[in-house]
Amino acid sequence: MEVVKAFGLWVLSILILGVVPLLVAAPYLVYKVAAFGQSAVLPEALKSDKMLIFYSVIGIIPAHLLTLYLAYLVVTEGGRRPFWKTIRWEWPQVATPMIVTLLSILTAIVLYGVAFGVTSLYGGEKTDLDMLIESSMYTRVATAFIAFATAPLVEEVIYRGVIYSAVEKVMGMGFAVTVVSLLFAGVHVFQYRSNIAVIVVITLLSITLTVARAVTGKLIPSFIIHLIFNGVQSVLIVIGPILEKHVGK
């Protein structure tokens, strides 16, 4: 039953991520129609509409918050069980929190180094994320904020907190690692479909995060690795134009 609930929550999280940003952007679309007519909302016009892209990105924040709330309801059974303890949001007992933190940070940095090497070596086409952050500076900053502030928490709670715990109880560690790694990487494939190197990187990240959850038996190490990995990426997203301008001189 827990597995069914876990996968039901996963499906809902994907639907929420698809619907809520559209709802957030809807008032802007209404304004566009009222001010400029139907031609303003034609597909060709919407693709290059910087404000629409920005509102769609901002809409991810309430989507993440709603997903986190639904995860709370599912895990606690409506408040009858402790949330954080149930998803194993704890420090591993084999080492001190300081050592676990340092090892997690080191893992994230090494992983990002490998990711940089893979993407630099194989290159590839621009992804949806690249085109997103290139649309405007405010969208770039909003994307970086979400990647660091909400995505690691929500994704770790859903994938390695709820789904991993449920699958491991029924099918064991090996099967749980495989399923969760594939699920997490799989939902990112469409976003990065134009670049096989980035897909390889996100798959490597997924496996690393899930193995860390399995080996330690706790969720905090995976969260720290995810947070640092995304944090490095967020910083580079924001300062990207500055670096490009400096290198171009």
User: Distance between CA 227 and CA 225 in Å, rounded?
Assistant: 5
Cα distance between residue 43 and residue 9, in whole Å: 32
Across 62-66, 238-242, 245-249, which has the greatest mean pLDDT?
62-66
pLDDT at 14 over 70: yes
State the residue range of the domain holding 182. 2-248
Query: What would the DSSP string read from start to end of 17-80?
Result: HHHHHHHHHHHHHHHHHHHH-GGGGSHHHHHT-HHHHHHHHHTHHHHHHHHHHHHHHHHHTTTT
Please determine, for residue 74, whether its predicted confidence score (pLDDT) is greater than 60: yes
What is the count of structural domains for the chain?
Answer: 1
121: left (phi over 0), alpha (psi -120 to 50) or beta: alpha
- The whole-chain average pLDDT of the chain stands at 92
Whether the model pTM is above 0.85: yes
Q: Cα–Cα distance between 204 and 111 in angstroms, integer?
A: 8
Q: What are the pLDDT digits (tens) for 184-230?
A: 999 998 888 888 999 999 999 999 999 999 999 999 999 999 999 99
